[in-house]
Amino acid sequence: MGEGGAGEALDTLLRRGAERIAAGRGCDRGEALFEARLLAGFVTGLDTTALMLQGDRPLDADTREAVDRLFDRRAAGEPVAYLVGERGFWRYRFQTAPGVLIPRPDTEVLVEWALERLPERTAPCVLDLGTGTGAIGLSIAAERPAACVHAVDRSETATRLAARNRAFLAEQGASVGMGIWQGDWLSAVAPESVDLIVSNPPYIDADDPHLRLGDVRHEPVEALVAADAGLADYRRIVEQASSVLRPGGWLLFEHGFEQADAVAALLDQAGFEAIETRRDLGKQPRVTGG
């Protein structure tokens, strides 16, 4: 901070910001410049094209300071999605906030598979367990207006944010009626009431070094870490799921890339059939269901 002289133009600010972000995060310059543009765009209201074409645009001191502050926070590791307050997922923008896991592109595989299991014309009942921002449940609800979709999360911060996102989707043209409930997995769900359960529960082992690297350090540990080598919440959900699902119902889980066999074994032991695993965008086993 403080290197920029009076009247410093956008280009110079972006270049310096990208250097600081690259140094702070240990990422390459291209990625850092991309993030610097996102942050500067958030403050100035300029889109990416304008940011590139208007590089010699002078910025007033307040704007420069606001942009610089975000660059510093990003260089210190705060996730871009928390700094700008939203993240794109599936077809929509979702609001994000500290205390709630940021939606990941890999989780779109879970949405895609869920939609395949949901024919357009019937009125199936879908449950999203540990909904967080609501990204999974709301995306499904937006694609299948005839489905009844409910979402559960133990965290009040999450259920409030999911409700905000339900309204945010309506602003984006998708009026969805998803029910949002605070609760502990399936404990409050009626027997034989659900056709499809989807969940991205916490699944990382507390000792996993991944937890000490990068953006994930700023995300809520309750949404990331599970006991029993990351399998504890799968066990709890699978135990309760058989009685909650209607005959012929499905349960689809996101999991860590080394957990496919363990999750498949839990489903198999509980009597699930046609168990299958799908891969994420990086070709890693990521979603298992049956």
Residue ranges binding ligand GLN (CB under 6 A): 104, 200, 202-204, 216, 224
Q: State which residue, 173 or 209, has the beta carbon closest to ligand GLN.
A: 209
How is residue 193 annotated by DSSP?
A: -
CB of residue 1 to ligand GLN, shortest distance in Å: 30
**Any binding-site annotation on 288?**
no
Query: Please, what's the b/e burial string for 169-185 (b: 16 or more CB within 10 A of its CB; e: otherwise)?
Result: beeeebebebebeeeeb
Q: State which residue, 129 or 204, has the beta carbon closest to ligand GLN.
A: 204
Q: 144: which strand partners?
A: none
| Residue partners of 3: CB distance under 8 A and separation at least 6 | 16
CB of residue 254 to ligand GLN, shortest distance in Å: 6
| Closest to 267 (Cα-Cα) out of 279, 257, 253 | 253
CB of residue 221 to ligand GLN, shortest distance in Å: 10
**Any binding-site annotation on 202?**
yes
CB of residue 11 to ligand GLN, shortest distance in Å: 34
- Which pair of structure tokens corresponds to residue 167? 């309204």
| Closest to 203 (Cα-Cα) out of 262, 289, 290 | 262
- Which pair of structure tokens corresponds to residue 30? 């291209």
**Any binding-site annotation on 131?**
yes
**Any binding-site annotation on 153?**
yes
Pairing of strands 194-199, 245-254: parallel
Q: State which residue, 65 or 222, has the beta carbon closest to ligand GLN.
A: 222
Q: State which residue, 13 or 224, has the beta carbon closest to ligand GLN.
A: 224
- Report the residue closest to ligand GLN, judged by CB: 224
**Any binding-site annotation on 203?**
yes
Binding-site annotation, residues for S-adenosyl-L-methionine:
130-134, 153, 185, 200
